[in-house]
Amino acid sequence: MLDQRLVRENPTLVTNELGRRGLNVDLAPLQLIAEQQRELESQRNSLQGEGNRIGREVGQRIKNGIDPQANEIKALRDQGNKIKQKVAVLEDKEKLISAKLKEQLLSFPNLPSAKCPNGKSEKDNQVLRQWGNPIQETSLQEHWEIAERLKLFDIERSVRISQSRFVTLTNHGARLERALINFMLDLHASKGYKELLPPVLVNTASLTGSGQLPKFAEESFKCADDDLWLTPTAEVPVTSMHRNEIIPSNQLPLRYVAYSPCFRREAGSYGRDTRGLIRLHQFNKIELYWFVHPEHSEAAHNQITADAEAVLQTLELPYRVIELCTGDLGFSASRTFDLEVWLPGAGAFREISSCSLCGDFQARRSAIRTKEGKSTRLVHTLNGSGLAVGRTMAAILENGQQKDGSVKLPEVLVPYFGANQLPPE
């Protein structure tokens, strides 16, 4: 959430930065609400100060020997009670206008980092670096063709069970998915991440705190009779691990790795990558998440990206790192590095991880602070996929396909899977 003080005191900056995202906003109505809220707060504080002064005066006069039932004491108490009534009225008005202000602020995305390149769409994203040697061969199969041939999943029965865009992994497919999950968790745990297995159902406050609501309500699956939603990413419950908390500065950074099934409607995909494992309504993902001191967040962004890259490097999968431009940034992000893995069957790079620095945006929505001496300040948060498991399997199938119809598995997976290949049909 944007800082209301910044909106109130420097609207030109906010307007310009949101303009870099391609948004044309008029902050005048929001400024008016913020000014009204500040004025009510000022009036309330003034009255409360006067009420406290009267209370002290009553106590001092009684201490000096004046009868508590004396007329002058009663007059002071009557004056204090009237002030309390006025304060109560102001508090009610302040609650209403604060709720209105918060509702407005929640609709605005994060401001982009000064280092985030300007651009209108994904066409303006910048390639930072590339790792590995992408296979450039013709007549290679795409992952869903390999999976169907090797009977790694069952699409037809999955539609019968639920609907389209769900998949049931079978035999070696289910085994490979489990192997990848365990491998990724072990790799990140070896780097000092604390492992979590959070709830899959999350409440509205958790989704709001991470930035999923109200913006992405239509993209999420909601339970009919409870204040619960299916989580779109483990980023949501992990953000709320420390919602409304003060984290001691000597405990920062906190680094978590969490496995979770994820659920998304993917309503805007319009037929893109809808075959196979790339764009499903339910998928598994390993999430990396950091809570850091604001002064260390840029270095943390580089590190969380390197930790996600380490998975691809260990699996020997070629990839490239993309910096997203302002027009392609996610709602909560101020700066993002995407990892795109090479799929030789498709002859294209596909996103497999998005590593984002969110600054204090999520921390302000979730009231997550750290203490420095007697003062507190908002922490910074970062998140990144480490990795999307189904897309990783797709990359392994396409990069490991052999002429005899088998699929060679990365050496690091052999202890987890129990074999060095998926046998031909």
Q: What is the pLDDT of residues 16-69, one digit of tens each?
A: 999 999 999 989 888 888 889 889 999 999 999 999 999 898 888 888 888 888
What domains, with CATH codes, occur in the chain? 4-106 (1.10.287.40), 122-422 (3.30.930.10)
pLDDT of residue 272: 56
pLDDT at 361: 97
CB 38 within 8 A of CB 5: no
> Where do runs of H (alpha helix) occur along 191-294?
204-210, 235-239
What would the mean pLDDT of 256-281 be, rounded to a whole number? 81
Give the separation between CA 80 and CA 101, rounded to whole angstroms.
30
Average pLDDT score over residue span 145-149: 95
Cβ neighbours of residue 37 closer than 8 Å, sequence gap 6 or more: 4, 94, 97, 98, 101
273 contacts: CB under 8 Å, gap ≥ 6: 279, 350
Read off the pLDDT band of 283 (50, 70, 90). very high
pLDDT score of 425 more than 80:
no
User: Has residue 268 got a pLDDT over 60?
Assistant: no
| pLDDT given for residue 385 in this prediction | 97
According to the model, what pLDDT value does residue 413 have?
98
**173-209 residues labelled b (16+ CB within 10 A) or e (exposed):** bebbbebbbebbbebbeeeebeebebeeebbeebbbb
Tell me if 323 sits within 8 A of 303, measured CB to CB: no
Whether 138 shows a pLDDT value over 90: the answer reads no
Classify residue 320 by burial, with Cβ atoms within 10 Å: 0-12, 13-18, 19+.
Answer: middle
User: Distances in Å between the alpha carbon of 345 and those of 143, 389, 399?
Assistant: 7, 18, 8
Taking only the tens place, the pLDDT of each residue in 348-398 is: 999 999 999 999 999 999 999 999 888 899 999 999 999 999 999 999 999
Mean pLDDT in residue range 256-269: 86
Query: In this predicted model, what pLDDT tens digit does every residue of 174-220 receive, in sequence order?
Result: 999 999 999 999 999 999 999 999 999 999 999 999 999 998 999 99
Please determine, for residue 269, whether its predicted confidence score (pLDDT) is greater than 60: no
Ranked by mean pLDDT, the top range of 58-67, 73-82, 120-129 is: 120-129
Q: What is the mean pLDDT of the chain?
A: 93
Q: Could you tell me if 287 and 238 are in contact, meaning their C-beta atoms sit under 8 angstroms apart?
A: yes
- Tally of CB atoms within 10 A around 168: 16
Residue 61 to residue 322: CA distance in whole angstroms: 72
pLDDT at position 273 is 64
Secondary structure element (H or E) that encloses residue 28, with its range: helix 28-63
Q: What is the pLDDT of residues 292-347, one digit of tens each?
A: 999 999 999 999 999 999 999 999 999 999 999 999 999 999 999 999 999 999 99
